[in-house]
Amino acid sequence: MITTLIQTCRKWLKRAVENPKKFFMCSMVFLVVSFIGSMIHGIFFSSETVFKIKPPVLYSHSTAVQNKEANHEKEMEKIVTELKALKIKRNRKELQKEDSLRIEYLFNQYQQLKNGR
């Protein structure tokens, strides 16, 4: 039985080598028909759990996400209060080079928190 299977495979390979266009067309037709068949089976005849498409989770109501947002808000409030203190220092003309670097750093941190990174 195995020898007949091997002989049949050799015949098919020989035909494929002799007629590559026909072999290519037959394999493409087989692939298209099997794809369409699997789509029809998946849509009409399968159980609900196999092909159920779930929407992506865009918003979460979990406490972890809410805590993260609350922490971002607290950090942003701290940054704003520190920037206000530095603004008062600027109005008194007591700013130093380190203060300018601190203002730039705080502004970048605020932008990152605001953009949700």
For 15-74, write each residue's pLDDT tens digit.
889 999 999 999 999 999 999 998 888 777 766 555 556 555 566 566 666 677 778 888
pLDDT above 90 for 95: no
The reported pTM is 0.44
Are 83 and 103 a contacting pair, CB within 8 Å?
A: yes
* H/E segment holding residue 61: none
What is residue 114's predicted lDDT score, i.e. its pLDDT?
Answer: 81
pLDDT above 80 for 9: yes
How far is the C-alpha of 109 from the C-alpha of 117, rounded, in Å? 10
Q: What is the mean pLDDT of residues 97-113?
A: 86
What is residue 18's predicted lDDT score, i.e. its pLDDT?
Answer: 92
pLDDT above 80 for 80: yes
Query: Which residues 6+ apart lie within 8 Å of 51 measured at CB?
Result: 42, 43
DSSP string, 22-50: HHHHHHHHHHHHHHHHHHHIIIIIS-TTT
